Structure 1
């Protein structure tokens, strides 16, 4: 049996690609390494919930406020107007997506990808079966690589796939109390402090009965566990029971190329589609899976391998500008505690708050208030040049 598509990786991106292809009538296999849970704050915006038909049962908490915390412990609370940010637990959310793909008609395979070989008819995915521990071969017409930031599929098949920049993220899922210390089960805390992360940020995100406390960094000698322990202490969460600990790379930049020009296309973290500055990945991973499925379906229908390029083209057409602006923000404000202090100070501005969350909730740049954009641009320059003191409220 030769599948139309074998999807390697069963996270949000791979599961979405498999479901979309199965629903459109294609014969799809979804290969997943069971048991792996990615460290993730778990935030999902309303557009994801709507676009991907996520039931309310998967939303373990509804957040109405985001708190930005600076190196000097300045705290800026940003209300989330006209809605909420949903929180999911990746252990259950990812499995829900995989099960939904199977219910749509995908075949689920459980094992660890090792390599791709080729026959006259097309690629053959080789994986080590979890149950038998033996190498198993599954033939396909096309392969979607959705196997994470240090993707083995990307490294072996796509030019430049081994050169993706990333931060190492680490978090601890803990049993969450009610309101205690500075912890609020209806608020996400984002900590911009070089003592927690010298080049990224830390987070305390409620998950209903649990919470995700973690951080990320590109600096190799940062003690991730100590930084997370410090974050727990500052939030009053030291004595909470730890449920599990997880670490993994998070990519910082989309790859310049997502396909190998013949039979492989990348999706999600494997393609580098995590938003700079925020590190947000679930929404972009699922969009990446959807555009990879669209490209694969087009290629199968037309026989033109050039159609695999549609995945990157469709994604960047909608999200390129957002990624560019978020990348510029990270470059400008994450370099030092003095810059981080200025960034949190800038977050006091009501225009910044409204435009930031409108863009986050809707996943597009807001064009309705051009004067607000001009004001923000001027204030941004003033903060970066020091015309506005970093300590000013």
Structure 2
């Protein structure tokens, strides 16, 4: 039996995979977008203005626009931070991801439901095996395959594509495990919920080493937490958080859990014809857990890498994705990694971190960096002031109330 042949098979229909499929299909490549379906990643759903602009996201997909953020310390001290001259867009991933998949299809990519199984290298082509489960199947489903000249693995943390292709580091990466619940927006006013505010909670019983969140989603909201401590009960923490804010009786719409990588892999390709993108490549920002923008950029860069590979038949072209990504965002990931390692390690340090966020320069530079996805360098005196304040907290010279 003759096999279907595609220029590229993209495994995973999240923001990274859908963006890669759209870009490649738009350039005339034959693309199969393989997605297992029925899965929504636990995510607060925040997207910055740069993403909205760079990837032409319509306003209709924004279920809310956050105009402020609240940081809550271990002692329940609260710092409210206005988002001046802008907003953070909020999306529902179940709707947002499907819209991205459909956009890829409208550009010419073929969508297909199936769970990736393994790869078989045939030289000129690679055979991509996937299973299709019919309704009512209790087993793994029927195993099918297609041929591809190149493969993009956008199948999430601990990428099965990456492991099957022999990409180094896929199995050894560090992860935070995240869990959230989507609940109906409260109809009463006896809770502390604000539909225009993102709350970030730095309390040990909500997360011992990361943070909890309450993010607006229009008619619903996302309440979640994350932790690298496998013995910590994320469900119990979310239940406590719901009770703390007076929403324990709100209607549960759905809940999701998944691992989130906290550090980009040292290599994203296998040196042959496979490159990773999104969570599979480890591009979730440390400290903040932000991943949608970085996933879509990673998918975009993976598509450019694959397109160059197909033109030149040179596997070294696949290195472009990681090289270009890290050139632009390495400093951000280093800074956030250090921040998570140090400031999230004890309640005393978390208290100091939230206290430091009272500083107007910290607030301004933080949001300017977030909104534009660049470390702000234009105000050296503000950076010096923040550095001195930071050192005061590090050395215990600054009083924490």
TM interval, shorter chain, is: over 0.9
Residue by residue over 1:274-319, the C-alpha shift from the partner in whole angstroms, topping out at 9 and shown as x without a partner, is 0000000000000110000010001111111000000100100111
Long gaps (5+) in structure 1: none
Partners of 1:180 and 1:340 in 2: CA distance:
28
- 2:163 paired residue among 132, 137, 155: 155
Partners of 2:120 and 2:190 in 1: CA distance:
55
Partners of 1:120 and 1:324 in 2: CA distance:
38
1:54 positional shift: 0.4
- 1:60 paired residue among 48, 53, 63: 63
1:262 positional shift: 0.4
TM-score for the superposition, normalised by structure 2: 0.96
Q: Secondary structure at the match of 2:114?
A: strand
Q: Secondary structure at the match of 1:127?
A: strand
Q: Secondary structure at the match of 1:359?
A: helix
Partners of 1:45 and 1:58 in 2: CA distance:
13
Partners of 1:384 and 1:181 in 2: CA distance:
35
TM-score for the superposition, normalised by structure 1: 0.98
Partners of 2:128 and 2:190 in 1: CA distance:
50
1:160 positional shift: 1.4
Moved over 2 A (4+): 130-133
Residue 121 of structure 1 pairs with residue 124 of structure 2: yes
Q: Secondary structure at the match of 1:125?
A: strand
Residue 136 of structure 1 pairs with residue 123 of structure 2: no
- 1:306 paired residue among 304, 308, 316: 316
1:180 positional shift: 4.1
Q: Secondary structure at the match of 1:141?
A: strand
- 1:3 paired residue among 2, 6, 13: 6
- 1:253 paired residue among 253, 257, 263: 263
Partners of 1:120 and 1:236 in 2: CA distance:
60
**Matching residue of 1:263:** 273
1:121 positional shift: 2.2
- The within-5 A match list for 1:289-328 is 289-328=299-338
Residue by residue over 1:125-158, the C-alpha shift from the partner in whole angstroms, topping out at 9 and shown as x without a partner, is 1000234831110110000000001211122220
**Matching residue of 2:41:** 38
> How many pairs align?
391
Residue by residue over 1:338-379, the C-alpha shift from the partner in whole angstroms, topping out at 9 and shown as x without a partner, is 110000000000000000000000000111111101111111
Long gaps (5+) in structure 2: 136-140
- 2:200 paired residue among 190, 194, 198: 190
Q: Secondary structure at the match of 1:38?
A: coil
- 1:171 paired residue among 180, 200, 203: 180
- The within-5 A match list for 1:1-393 is 1-131=4-134, 133-157=141-165, 158-177=167-186, 179-391=189-401
Partners of 2:390 and 2:164 in 1: CA distance:
42
Q: CA RMSD in A?
A: 0.9
1:162 positional shift: 1.1
Partners of 1:155 and 1:252 in 2: CA distance:
18
